């Protein structure tokens, strides 16, 4: 995906027809899978799968299944993997979007604390300790 959403919106408003726009931008309109995006994050951040597994505290084979696309993790596991990969807020929200999961919502206390931790570059252990201190369910 090389074009920004704003670029695509501009092209769409100028297109003679939707079909023309779609044919010209078909590759740009496809969402990657959550597994594809997670692998992209690892590559772009130069993080090994072993480091991701160590940072996530998830079972090794389970993470490999997620990365290969054979397992579909739930929302909390995706957030854990985003944190373990050192993803920022935008990257975390994208991962959740590509997995068709609800984005982090700051009006929700638990989501807000997770958001705050990710925004500050905190590790999973810190975020879970903060959740526990606030009597909220940890990420697991």
Position with higher pLDDT, 125 vs 1: 125
Residue 31 pLDDT > 80: no
Start-to-end C-alpha separation, the chain = 31
What pLDDT is recorded for position 29?
84
Residues of the chain above pLDDT 70, percent:
99
Q: Using an 8 Å Cβ cutoff, are 95 and 34 in contact? A: yes
For residue 62, which phi and psi values (nearest 5 degrees)?
-60, -45
Structure confidence by residue, pLDDT tens digits, 73-97: 999 999 999 999 999 999 999 999 9
Residue 5 pLDDT > 90: no
Residue 1 pLDDT > 80: no
What pLDDT is recorded for position 15?
93
């Amino acid at each position: 995906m090389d074009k920004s959403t704003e670029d695509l919106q501009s092209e769409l408003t100028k297109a003679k027809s939707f079909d023309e726009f779609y044919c010209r931008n078909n590759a740009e309109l496809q969402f990657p899978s959550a597994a594809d995006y997670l692998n992209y994050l690892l590559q772009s951040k130069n993080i090994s799968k072993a480091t991701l597994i160590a940072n996530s505290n998830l079972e090794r084979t389970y993470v490999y299944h997620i990365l290969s696309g054979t397992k579909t993790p739930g929302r909390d596991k995706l957030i854990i993997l985003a944190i373990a990969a050192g993803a920022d807020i935008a990257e975390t929200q994208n991962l959740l979007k590509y997995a068709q999961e609800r984005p982090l919502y700051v009006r929700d206390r638990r989501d807000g604390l997770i958001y705050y931790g990710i925004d500050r570059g905190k590790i999973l252990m810190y975020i879970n300790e903060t959740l526990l201190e606030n009597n909220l369910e940890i990420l697991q």
